[in-house]
Structure 1
């Protein structure tokens, strides 16, 4: 596979090589791809975690009586006050 880099990308890689932290452009690209894979995996994990929390909240809401908006906000404000006074 051949990869074409922009001039900025080439300068970036050359700068990293000149610093001496990496031995080759291939090493830099391998690290970049590994980090991309980790980033995407953590993003997928985060989405799944949020989905599970939403599902749990929806399940809990089916067993909890409804609360009007004003009461809900007042309860949050009161919890905040209690947390700050402790």
Structure 2
């Protein structure tokens, strides 16, 4: 495979080689791709977990297990006041 890098990316790679962290451009790119793969896996896991939480929430709504918005806001405000009071 033959790719063309933007000048700033090429400069970034060259600076990593120059400071001795990597021996060549292949090492830099290999690590970058590994990190991208790990990030994407983490994102997929987060996305799956979020979908599950949304499904649970929707099921709770269908069963009527909900709180009034004003009640939620009042509880959050109370917690915020308590947190501020404990910091003083």
Give the TM-score normalised by the residue count of structure 2. 0.76
CA RMSD of superposed structures (Å): 2.2
Question: Compared with structure 1, are the counterparts of its residues 55 and 5 closer, same or farther at alpha carbon in structure 2 (3 Å cutoff)?
Answer: same
Residue 56 of structure 1 aligns with which residue? Answer: 56
Q: CA deviation at 1:57?
A: 1.6
Please list the CA deviations of residues 21-76 of structure 1 after superposition, one character each: whole Å capped at 9, or x if unmatched.
Answer: 11110011000111111111111111111111111122223334554332332244
Unpaired stretches in structure 2, ≥5 consecutive residues = none
Unpaired stretches in structure 1, ≥5 consecutive residues = none
* Cα distance in 1 between the residues matched to 2:53 and 2:19: 45
Corresponding residue SS for 1:21: coil
Residue 16 of structure 1 aligns with which residue? Answer: 16
Question: Compared with structure 1, are the counterparts of its residues 20 and 76 closer, same or farther at alpha carbon in structure 2 (3 Å cutoff)?
Answer: same
Residue 71 of structure 1 aligns with which residue? Answer: 71
* Cα distance in 1 between the residues matched to 2:65 and 2:9: 57
